[in-house]
Structures are given as structure tokens and as C-alpha cells.
């Protein structure tokens, strides 16, 4: 499976521009042979644009997510719509199972190449360090794993990288590749590099950490989108500017590494 990680430029609060830009990047990646395209955390509104969250929120059947379902089907490519601000009340009204009847969630949605919604992941660990996320968002409760092009895929979001137990549960569900849409800022660049690689090493799985690019007042995203293989080797990475990082994901490689070095078997 060819994985394309879109390190998109994100303008705070400029939802229409951000979405149009992301759609263009999905089409470009599909034209270049991608099987799965991943967008960053809150690529539509910008993580640090807290005051715009309410205005940007929509349910899982909202018009912006429908655009990504349509482009997935039209381009014949699976798409992880990074994360968006989900209006839980709107989703509930549409019959979607939600963790609360009202409020907002930081939600990733994966569409397959037919445009069907296959996975919904709501960020579990909300960031409170100089952030308003914990005040504005409802944490998720489920950690789904789904097969895409023969690869068992799981999703976590940004700050979740600091909580390895979340990944252990996905390993038990057979995950082979974890996608991590993020809005990771300076100055914690070494944490970003180390944690993604550590999750790959301990899970003996591929991990793709997909960051945005952009500045929001005093805050700036550090970019450096990376894909790590099951040994923790960096397959591809970027700097801080907008770009697309690509790598091939081979489930047979996961099986081979876990067979050669069966550390997961020795858990107690």
C-alpha cells in the first residue's frame, strides 16, 4: 500500500481555504499513485484557532466531510480526513453513535476508495498545556482498527503519542500501521521525533506521524511528518514546509519483524 502523508499548510480559522487546499492535495496524491492519503489534525480550522471551533464544527454527515467522501470515490483513493471539529449533537441527530449528546470532539474520519466511512476515531487524550482543547472538547472512548488495502489500520491523534497503553490495545487487535494526524508545535521537536519512533518500535508496526505546517500567533507547527517501519527505521520524513511524504506499507514486513523479534509474545 502506498501511503501519502499530506503536511498541509493550515491557516487559523480559514476553513474554506484550508479544505480547498486539502482537497487539491488529496487529488494530487491520488494522481501520483497513493492508495491512502492522510491529512493532519484539525487541518480545516487550525488547532490553535480555539475561538473558531464552534463555527467550524459539523456532524459526521456534514458537507465538508461529504466532500472528502466524494473526492475519495472520485479519485479512487482512501482518505483519512485528518481530524475535524465534530459537532456531537449534529452527529447524534443523524443517528451516529457518539460519546456525549452535545459538545465537540476532535475527530478523525477514514473513507475508503469507494467513499464509504470506515473508521471514526475521537481523540482520547486532550491537551491542556497552554491549550483550550480540554475545555472545549469531549474525549473519545473507542479505538477502532480497520483493514484498508490488506493493511490493518489504527488511528490516534497528536498528544495520544505520549500514552503507549493506547497502542498496546491496537496491537492486540492486530494493527499493522498506526496513522497519527497531529498539530505538533515547536519547541518539542525531539519529543515528536522520539515518541513516534518509540511507538513503532514497541508495537513492531508502522507508524505515520502526520503534522501540519503553519503559524498561529506565537505558536508554530514543527512539521517533520515521518513514517517509521516496524523496526523504528525512518522510511520518509520532511522539514517544516508544506509537502507530501510517501512510503510503502507492507503487512508482510510486520509479520516478518514480529517473527524475527517476537517481543510482543513475551509480554506479561
Active site residues: 41, 123, 158
Q: Which of 197, 206, 204 is nearest to 260 (CA)?
A: 204
- DSSP designation for 139: P
Q: What are phi and psi of 197, to 5 degrees?
A: -65, -40
CA atoms of 170 and 264, how far apart (whole Å): 12
Question: Residue 10 in contact with residue 46, Cβ under 8 Å?
Answer: yes
Q: Which residues pair with 177 in a beta bridge?
A: 153, 206
Give the Cα separation of 54 and 175 in Å (integer).
33
Instruction: Give me the DSSP letters along 198-229.
Output: HHHHHHTSEEEEE--B-EETTEEB----EEE-
Partners of 236 in beta bridges? 227
Give CA–CA dist 91/103, Å, rounded.
11
**Main-chain phi, psi angles of 26, to 5 degrees:** -65, -45
Are 45 and 22 a contacting pair, CB within 8 Å? no
Amino acid at each position: 500500500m502506498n501511503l501519502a502523508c499530506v503536511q498541509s499548510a493550515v491557516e487559523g480559522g480559514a476553513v474554506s481555504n484550508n479544505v480547498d487546499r486539502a482537497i487539491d492535495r488529496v487529488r494530487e496524491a491520488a494522481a501520483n499513485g497513493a492508495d491512502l492519503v492522510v491529512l493532519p489534525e484539525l487541518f480545516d480550522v487550525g488547532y490553535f484557532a480555539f475561538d473558531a471551533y464552534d463555527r467550524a464544527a459539523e456532524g459526521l454527515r456534514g458537507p465538508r466531510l461529504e466532500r472528502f467522501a466524494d473526492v475519495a470515490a472520485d479519485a479512487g483513493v482512501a482518505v483519512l480526513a485528518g481530524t475535524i471539529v465534530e459537532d456531537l449533537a449534529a452527529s447524534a441527530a443523524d443517528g451516529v453513535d457518539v460519546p456525549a449528546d452535545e459538545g465537540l470532539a476532535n475527530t478523525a474520519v477514514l473513507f475508503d476508495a469507494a467513499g464509504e466511512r470506515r473508521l471514526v476515531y475521537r481523540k482520547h487524550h486532550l491537551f491542556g498545556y497552554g491549550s483550550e482543547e480540554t475545555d472545549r472538547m469531549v474525549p473519545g472512548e473507542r479505538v477502532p482498527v480497520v483493514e484498508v488495502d490488506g493493511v490493518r489500520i489504527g488511528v490516534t491523534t497528536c498528544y495520544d503519542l505520549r500514552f503507549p497503553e493506547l497502542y498496546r490495545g491496537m496491537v492486540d487487535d492486530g494493527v499493522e500501521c498506526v496513522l497519527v494526524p497531529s498539530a505538533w508545535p515547536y519547541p518539542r521537536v525531539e519529543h515528536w521525533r522520539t515518541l513516534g519512533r518509540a511507538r513503532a518500535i514497541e508495537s513492531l508496526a508502522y507508524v505515520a506521524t502526520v503534522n501540519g505546517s503553519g503559524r498561529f500567533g506565537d505558536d508554530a507547527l514543527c512539521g517533520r511528518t515521518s513514517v517509521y517501519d516496524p523496526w523504528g527505521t525512518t522510511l520518509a520524513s520532511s522539514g517544516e514546509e508544506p509537502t507530501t511524504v510517501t512510503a510503502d506499507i507492507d503487512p508482510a514486513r510486520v509479520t516478518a519483524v514480529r517473527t524475527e523479534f517476537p517481543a510482543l509474545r513475551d509480554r506479561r
